[in-house]
A and B are shown apart, each in its own frame.
Chain A
Amino acid sequence: MLDRQNYLKVKLFLKYSRDIHGRSSLQISNDFEHLKALLLWAGSQQVGSAHAFNTSLTDFLFQNVEKGLDQAELQSILNTNQRFLLWMKAIFPVEFQNIRLNWIVKISEISNGKEVII
């Protein structure tokens, strides 16, 4: 079972994106699909301790997406997750105090040598 608090935070982020940043319904829908990867990656753990997870988000995506991802799609997913984590760190500074800004910035980098399935 996934952690409900993570889901509620994602929903809050999507609401903020729509109301404050004026993102369209289609963009919100795409963002939610991208953030589902983060929710599955976190599983029953809090996103606030994401830096301590055993596998990186990129590795998780490579392992679990069966149909394959092209590089642009993968980068898009990672960028959305990075935006979410940056927003989370700004909104919930205490809960996310253990996650360094540097770690969040690096989350969208695809490691060299990774095979991208097209």
Chain B
Amino acid sequence: MSENQNSSNCRISRNVLIKAPGLLPMLYTPREIAEDLDVPETTLRDWLNHGAPHSRDESNHIWIDGKQFAAWVDSQRNARKKPTHPLQAGEGFCMRCNAIVKIKDGEIRSVKGHLSHLKGKCPICGGIVNRGIWNAGSSELPQG
């Protein structure tokens, strides 16, 4: 009798992120979970409406599996993280286009220590794109 309504990201406090893995593999009532996580019951019911895993018995009482709920809290944390895209060789971030672009006519000059500076043009808007690169092991530097 599992039910999931609209699943969207919820704002989960740090306190809950820390306490949720300590939930036991058993069925809790909303009030018990709210007490264990130290959040108001209304907040917890709001999370249930936003897709937190729960089920209802024949009397329409809500039951929450502690481990499933902990996994959901963990997924909410991961969902809030923005996906990363490490820059590849020859790529830079154009501040005008607000996007990652392949740098055109790139010139590399040594700055200080292990750091070099790659300067070129954006192939889309023609603006200047800068990028710092590490000398050691960078495929962008001329070999030899």
Contact = CB atoms under 8 A, between A and B. Distances in A.
A39 B22 contact: no
Contacts of B22: 33, 36
Interface stretch (B23-31, B93-101, B132-140): B23-31
A25 to B, nearest CB: 10
Contacts of B25: 1-2
Nearest to A33: B22
Nearest to A11: B32
* Chain B interface size range: under 10
Contacts of A33: 22
Nearest to B65: A1
Interface in A1-41: 1-4, 7, 11, 33, 36, 39-40
Contacts, number: 19
Contacts of B24: 2, 7, 36, 39-40
Contacts of B27: 1, 4
A3 B25 CA distance: 10
B70 to A, nearest CB: 13
Nearest to A8: B32
A1 B22 CA distance: 15
Nearest to B29: A4
A11 B22 CA distance: 15
Interface in B83-127: none
A55 B78 CA distance: 38
B57 to A, nearest CB: 13
A7 B32 CA distance: 10
Contacts of A3: 26
Interface string B9-37: 00000000000001011110000100000
19 contacts: A1-B25, A1-B26, A1-B27, A2-B24, A2-B25, A2-B26, A3-B26, A4-B26, A4-B27, A7-B24, A7-B26, A7-B32, A11-B32, A33-B22, A36-B22, A36-B24, A39-B24, A39-B26, A40-B24
Given A1-B27, A11-B32, 15 more contacts: A1-B25, A2-B25, A2-B26, A3-B26, A4-B26, A4-B27, A7-B24, A7-B26, A7-B32, A33-B22, A36-B22, A36-B24, A39-B24, A39-B26, A40-B24
